[in-house]
Every structure is written in C-alpha cells, then in structure tokens.
Amino acid sequence: MEENILLVEDDMEIARIIRDMLMRNHYQVAWATTGLEGWEDFKISNYDLVIVDVMLPEMDGFSLCKNIRLKSDVPMIIISARKADGYKVKGLGLGADDYIAKPFSMLELKARVESHLRRWRRFQGVPKQTKHTSYVHGLMVDWKECHVSLQGKRITLTDKEWELLTVLAKHPEQTFSKEELYQHIWQQVELDGVHTVTVHIKSLREKLQDSVKTPRYIQTVWGKGYRFIGDMQ
C-alpha cells in the first residue's frame, strides 16, 4: 500500500520538484500551499509523514508543526532556508523529527523520508496505550469513549471542555498559553479568544471539583497559562 505524505510548501517550483520525486518513488502526495490549508488537510486525512516549510502564509510552519504534534505522532520533516541553529532548535523542540536546510538534494530528502517512515512503521506495530487512564483523587478518563468520571460518577463535558482536557492531560506538565489553546481548539485568532479559554477552563475545573488554590489536575501557571498535574494511579 502506498504511503501518504502531506507536503506544505508555498514555493511552487520547489513543491513540484519534491512532489514529483516522491511520486516517482511510489508515495501518494497531497500538496498544500499555506499553513492553514495544510492544517485543514491534516485534520481530514490520514498521513504517514509531513514535510513542512517554515515560511508559510496564513500559518507559519512552526505553528503548523505544533498543532500537528498535539494531535499525532506522525513523522514531520521541516525544510527551510533558515539555517541558524536557533531555528533548528525551535523546530525540533516543537516536535519535528528532522530539519533540512535549503538548498538540499532530492537524494538526501528521499533518504530521510525513507528513514523516518521505517521508524514510523515500527512505531505503528507497538501495542496501543490503554483506552483509559485513572488518576489519584478519583478522576478517570476514557479516551476511546470520550467520557470522564469522578469518584465513579460520570461527568458531562462539552466538546470544548473535552478537547481542553485532552490537550492538557495528554501533555502532562507542559504549559500552554491561553492563546495556544484557543488557536489549537477553536482554530481561530480572535481578540476575545483568551477570555473564551478562561471561561471554559473555569467550567471544566468546577466539573472536576478542582480548586484553583490547591489544584489536583489543572494548575494555573501565572502569567503563562495552564498545565496538567494529575498523578496517574
């Protein structure tokens, strides 16, 4: 079965060269020309690898990588004319698996694609994690059925509350700003986004019976955002 690759590159000449090389090597290729288009494509299709340029219209490559990594462990390769170590460190820190500076040869890109896909195949063979997670103080999250219970009693969450809990709990101890949470979950950039996140976090905390002063699950990192601190049983 041909493996499916998402290419996000706004330079048409470079994109065509990369796409043609991948197709000659029997990969299926979807090509997006903006970061936002790439993000929309990623959400509706299943990809085995993503190739992302850094300088993209609508949503830059770093933001795209961060959004993808929050939802998937799929291999990601950043391609960029930015060669400074700071850019490489930032890209890898956001979850990219590789960073290739332009110009590069198609033979090098082909080799790196094949290498990451081999690792991805092995990863896919690893048994999936348990479908639910239990935490100290009685919280249980069923990832498969998308529901939450506290002390054995089921809690009804809205879709946005569930998405907030999922992002935070699946990345424990990682601090997310309100802006990051709003962009990722609501997929918009609005001046009122920060307030929207605050309201939903407050509601989620109330349902989890989680105190702001002595949190068990969601901790406020003052001046920065929120992080999940629940201890698994």
Q: For 12-31, how does the pLDDT look when each residue is reduced to its tens digit (9 = 90+)?
A: 999 999 999 999 999 999 99
Question: Cα dist. 166→157, 161, 162, 172 in Å?
Answer: 11, 9, 6, 10
pLDDT digits (tens, 9 = 90+) for 113-156: 999 998 888 776 654 555 789 999 999 999 888 899 999 999 99
Question: Cα dist. 116→121, 228, 229 in Å?
Answer: 9, 30, 32
Question: Cα dist. 228→93, 130, 191, 216, 219 in Å?
Answer: 19, 19, 25, 9, 6
pLDDT given at position 172? 86
pLDDT given at position 233? 83
Q: What is the pTM of this model?
A: 0.66
Contact 65, 76 (CB under 8 A): yes
pLDDT given at position 205? 96
With pLDDT > 90 as the criterion, what percentage of the chain qualifies? 65
Q: What is the DSSP letter of 128?
A: P
57 pLDDT band, cuts 50/70/90, is very high
